[in-house]
């Protein structure tokens, strides 16, 4: 479901017609916004990442565990993508049934959940990508913003897992809600997939904690993280009801909403 879109889910959300699952999906359009953190003088998180306003580091053991979790999420997404490519190659050779089963169990469809009972697709679809650009967008996004949280004091592995999975699931619920409202009892042929809902949730928490961190859109235009997240929220809200869009905007908003709730309820200690 991409927030920092190299494709069109930050997206649980790239939409794929069900009737096309036996054929090779169309290639994704070029991403609408590739971003990288602006250069600075401080290093936070994985590798050499630079941010303008870092926080004090979390204890090294906690940061190490968070980084391992981050890489585990990235590896899981890449593994599912590689398996999907293998099944697509099989389908081209005439063995289409494995790809059909994959699409049924790893992508999100309203009828699949409500009529076929495939409730697990609300989670499996979060880790599924069919387009290389879609995968790249989401993985770069979570690499940068996830690395910032990995170094945050008090943000342990349990919170990291809860935020990622909660945002992904909330994004799936948002996607299903909009599909149910638009379908109005008609068969639903669209499918949602991608890590974008999770990225939106992580991005929301990161924006609250590091609002003035400078991000570079296309490596050229500097913008504070809070403004970037707010811009994506407005963008997704504006196109929420655009049935011509192949982006899961409701999934993005669902993931973002969970991130906002999580920040105030857990990070600020206001609730559950």
Q: Which residues contact 196 (CB under 8 A, 6 or more apart)?
A: 1, 2, 3, 5, 9, 10, 11, 12, 13, 138, 171, 248, 251, 252, 255
**Distance, CA of 263 to CA of 52 (rounded, Å):** 21
pTM over 0.85: no
| Closest-CA residue to 212 (of 223, 197, 201, 220) | 223
The pLDDT profile of the chain, 272 residues, written as one tens digit per residue, is 444 443 333 334 444 444 333 334 343 333 333 333 333 323 333 333 333 444 455 567 888 999 999 999 999 999 999 999 999 999 999 999 999 999 999 999 999 999 999 999 999 999 999 999 999 999 999 999 999 998 888 889 999 999 999 999 999 999 999 988 887 878 888 899 999 999 999 999 999 999 999 887 777 888 999 999 999 999 888 888 877 777 888 899 999 999 999 999 887 765 54
**Distance, CA of 51 to CA of 34 (rounded, Å):** 16
Running DSSP on this structure, what letter comes out for residue 25? P
Q: Give me the domains of the chain, ranges plus CATH numbers.
A: 16-267 (1.20.1540.10)
């Amino acid at each position: 479901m991409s927030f920092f879109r190299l494709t069109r889910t930050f997206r649980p959300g790239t939409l794929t017609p069900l009737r096309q699952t036996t054929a090779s999906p169309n290639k994704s359009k070029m991403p609408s916004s590739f971003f990288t953190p602006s250069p600075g003088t401080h290093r936070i998180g994985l590798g050499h990442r630079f941010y303008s306003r870092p926080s004090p580091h979390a204890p090294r053991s906690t940061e190490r565990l968070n980084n391992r979790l981050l890489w585990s999420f990235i590896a899981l997404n890449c593994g599912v993508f590689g398996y999907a490519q293998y099944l697509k190659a099989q389908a081209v050779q005439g063995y289409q049934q494995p790809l059909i089963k994959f699409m049924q169990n790893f992508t999100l469809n309203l009828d699949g959940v409500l009529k076929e009972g495939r409730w697990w697709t609300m989670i499996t679809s979060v880790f599924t990508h069919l387009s290389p650009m879609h995968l790249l967008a989401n993985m770069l996004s979570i690499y940068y913003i996830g690395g910032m949280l990995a170094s945050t004091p008090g943000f342990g592995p349990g919170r990291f897992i809860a935020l990622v999975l909660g945002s992904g699931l909330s994004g799936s619920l948002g996607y299903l809600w909009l599909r149910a409202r638009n379908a109005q009892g008609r068969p639903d042929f669209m499918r949602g997939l991608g890590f974008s809902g999770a990225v939106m949730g992580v991005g929301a928490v990161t924006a609250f904690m590091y609002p003035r961190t400078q991000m570079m859109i296309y490596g050229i235009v500097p913008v504070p993280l809070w403004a970037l997240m707010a811009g994506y929220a407005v963008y997704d809200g504006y196109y929420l009801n655009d049935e011509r869009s192949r982006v899961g905007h409701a999934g993005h908003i669902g993931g973002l909403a969970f991130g906002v709730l999580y920040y105030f309820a857990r990070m600020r200690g206001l609730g559950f």
